[in-house]
């Protein structure tokens, strides 16, 4: 059952405003997700969250078009305190500019029966 990650993202933005901002996202430090997941159950704002919930929220945050645009612009990457640590490489900028592949269309299933309760039968009798 999919869970709405918006409340989780709001909590991350409130707990780490120098790092997470949904309106103007900044490129995150490589490995920042592991740091945040290590705080699950320890940091007061993340006390009742699991590593899986945090991982899903960060995946949605970093998959958003605004975040990908921030990566494509390049510049520094930021840690939880909002300090610049590292740079976005030109290769990462190219990857961020690449359109994400669309999900394949579901394969068509078998044709539904013409009416409920209708059963096509053929009786053959050997003589």
Residue 87 bridge partners (DSSP): 76
Strands of the chain, DSSP E: 76-78, 84-87
pLDDT at 2 over 60: no
What is the pLDDT, as a whole number, of residue 115?
56
Q: What would the pLDDT profile of 33-71 be if each residue is shown by its tens digit?
A: 899 988 888 888 888 888 888 899 999 999 999 999 999
What is the pLDDT, as a whole number, of residue 87?
94
pTM of full prediction above 0.75: no
Q: What would the pLDDT profile of 79-124 be if each residue is shown by its tens digit?
A: 999 999 999 999 999 998 888 777 777 777 666 555 555 556 666 6
Between 6 and 99, name the one with better pLDDT.
Answer: 6
Between 76 and 120, name the one with better pLDDT.
Answer: 76
Q: Are 67 and 9 within 8 A, CB to CB?
A: no
CATH class (in words) of the domain with range 6-97: mainly alpha
């Amino acid at each position: 059952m999919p869970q709405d990650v918006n409340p989780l993202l709001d909590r991350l933005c409130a707990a780490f405003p120098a790092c997470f901002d949904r309106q103007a996202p900044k490129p995150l430090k490589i490995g920042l997700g592991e740091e945040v997941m290590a705080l699950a159950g320890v940091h007061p704002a993340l006390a009742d969250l699991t590593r899986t919930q945090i991982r899903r929220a960060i995946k949605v945050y970093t998959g958003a078009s605004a975040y990908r645009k921030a990566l494509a612009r390049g510049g520094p990457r930021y840690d939880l305190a909002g300090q610049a640590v590292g740079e976005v490489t030109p290769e990462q900028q190219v990857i961020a500019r690449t359109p994400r592949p669309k999900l394949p269309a579901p394969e068509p299933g078998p044709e539904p029966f013409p009416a409920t309760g209708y059963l096509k039968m053929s009786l053959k009798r050997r003589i």
